[in-house]
Amino acid sequence: MRNLRDAIVELYRKAATSLPADVEAGLRRSLAREEKGSAARAALLKVVENIKLARDTSRPICQDTGVPVFFIKIPAGISQVKIKDEIIRATRISTKKIPLRPNAVDILTDNNSGDNTGIGFPVIYFEETAGKQVTIDLMLKGAGSENIGQLYKLPVAELNAGRDLDGVRKCVLDAVYKAQGRGCPPYVIGVGIGASRDQVTRLSKEQLVRSLDDKNVFRILYDSEKRLLGEVNQLGIGPLGFGGKTTALAVKIGVNHRHPASYFVDVSISCWADRRAGLLIKI
Amino acid sequence: MTRQDVLSLHVGDMVLLSGRIVTGRDKVHQFLFRERPPEEQIPFNLRGSVLYHCGPIVRKTGGGFEFIAGGPTTSIRVEMYEHRIISDYGIRGVMGKGGMGRQTLDALRKNGCVYLHAIGGAAVYLAEKIKKVAGVWKLEEFGMTEAMWLLEVENFPVVVTMDAHGRSLHEEIDKKSYNTFKKLIGLR
């Protein structure tokens, strides 16, 4: 288990200091689209320089190293308790070593635990799967963008949004319009649709660990994602909210079956620093 | 900064900031707003200074402190406090990200103050523009993230997005995007 601990520390380092290639490529493409001499372009140039500096000096891309969120898939017979234990230890080591900013604050005392661990912190989701490998996806979710996420219950009269994918589309546009530039655009937008509130918030967040370049397995959702990305970028909020062509890099939608009486839509938004890293262990 | 410096700045200006600034985020704002400590109880001179919304990662070094990462945090969280902190303590520049609301915009105009938008997420790049950590207040009580840090910065890049003349880029973009939004969802 010692090896697992070291591997998770490295996972933290990678996620915090080295932006995934697909996100960086997306930012570079958006840089090329923004007008010369604009504040948006100037800001993106610094963003791109910052990504390189962070990687070269192994320092966190953003001082808000966020809430660590783990999505873990394990085959039968592997102990969740043991993996959780190693994650807690690795989190303490990483906070000191990388360093990460201590972000876990006790609700009752308002004290910061100082090591990024506490009740339900980090967030860890387990799922048992067939096969013989463990996969660990880690996302460092910044709070600025976490704070602008929205949960909807369709239908929504003010948005003229019914219980269908067009209603979902209106929710996403509403969430981004309301967010404006407060969560560090260009955003990556995750959407979760389904039967219960707790399920859709997890599902929308899970969309944020998908590669920007992947293709939704459902053709109809792939089309929705594409259309929504185009429409979000018509809003003109732009990089950092300075105005411009790129408000989002991608929209990703995930679905579960719903109850006849419920149609929940959750919109999770990531800042441009969509920090994630993955690990695969063969048993 | 002087009042004249502030009045010379307009929405859209890209500026490089050099000199002494202080940080302050949620806890500092709540404390200054609720307790209203007299200026002589604050170890730094806030009059004419820039208040930077920032919760940094700081490393202790032999002789002092070093900023590892120090980008801006979301400013709107301190909207309910900022207007009175600007007038109570004579702040000339509020620096952060994401912009602020009407109350702050009014306070900028009344008091001669400006909102400077830093590059969100560019924490290492911006930490390199911080040449010296010159002091800290409330480190024990508030902790590293929430303490007030006194910094010397050089060529720290910002965009003026709310000025002392009543203009806000954030309001303008909000309005424009609202019209597009309405069209896209089919509302009149």
- Rounded CA separation B118/B98 (Å): 9
Share of chain B above pLDDT 70, in %: 100
| Contact call for B125 and A49, based on CB within 8 A | yes
What are A134-165's pLDDT values in tens digits?
999 999 999 999 999 999 999 999 999 999 99
What residue has token string 């963003």?
A47
Residue A152 lies in a domain: yes
pLDDT of residue A194: 98
B29 catalytic, yes or no?
yes
Mean pLDDT over B89-101 rounds to 98
Residues of B in contact with A234 (CB under 8 A): 180, 184
Domain count, chain A: 1
The catalytically annotated residue of B10, B29, B53, B117 is B29
Among the listed residues A100, A145, A101, A140, the one whose alpha carbon sits nearest the alpha carbon of residue B145: A101
Among the listed residues A51, A40, A13, the one whose alpha carbon sits nearest the alpha carbon of residue B12: A40
Name the residue ranges covered by the structural domains of chain B. Answer: 3-185
Structure confidence at residue A283 as a pLDDT band (50, 70, 90): confident
Structure confidence at residue B187 as a pLDDT band (50, 70, 90): confident
pLDDT of residue B188: 74
Residues of A in contact with B180 (CB under 8 A): 234-236
pLDDT at A132 over 80: yes
Residue A119 lies in a domain: no
pLDDT of residue B56: 98
Burial class from Cβ neighbours inside 10 Å (0-12, 13-18, 19+) for residue B167 reads: middle
Question: Which ipTM value was assigned to this complex?
Answer: 0.95
User: Is residue B12 left, alpha or beta, with left meaning phi > 0 and alpha meaning psi from -120 to 50?
Assistant: left
- Rounded CA separation B77/B75 (Å): 5
CA B139 to chain centroid: 19
- Residue B24 dihedral angles phi and psi, to the nearest 5°: -170, 130
Mean pLDDT over A67-71 rounds to 98
pLDDT at B58 over 70: yes
The total number of residues written for chain A in this structure: 283
Shortest distance between the Cα of A221 and any Cα of chain B, in A, equals: 18
Topology of domain B3-185, CATH: fumarase (3.20.130)
Among the listed residues B17, B168, B56, B131, the one whose alpha carbon sits nearest the alpha carbon of residue A101: B56
Structure confidence at residue B179 as a pLDDT band (50, 70, 90): very high
CA A198 to chain centroid: 17
Going by the DSSP 8-state scheme, the letter that residue A76 receives in this structure is T
pLDDT of residue A1: 65
Residue A264 tokens read as: 């929940």
Structure confidence at residue A195 as a pLDDT band (50, 70, 90): very high
Residue B104 tokens read as: 């702050």
Residue A55 lies in a domain: no
Domain housing A213: 144-273
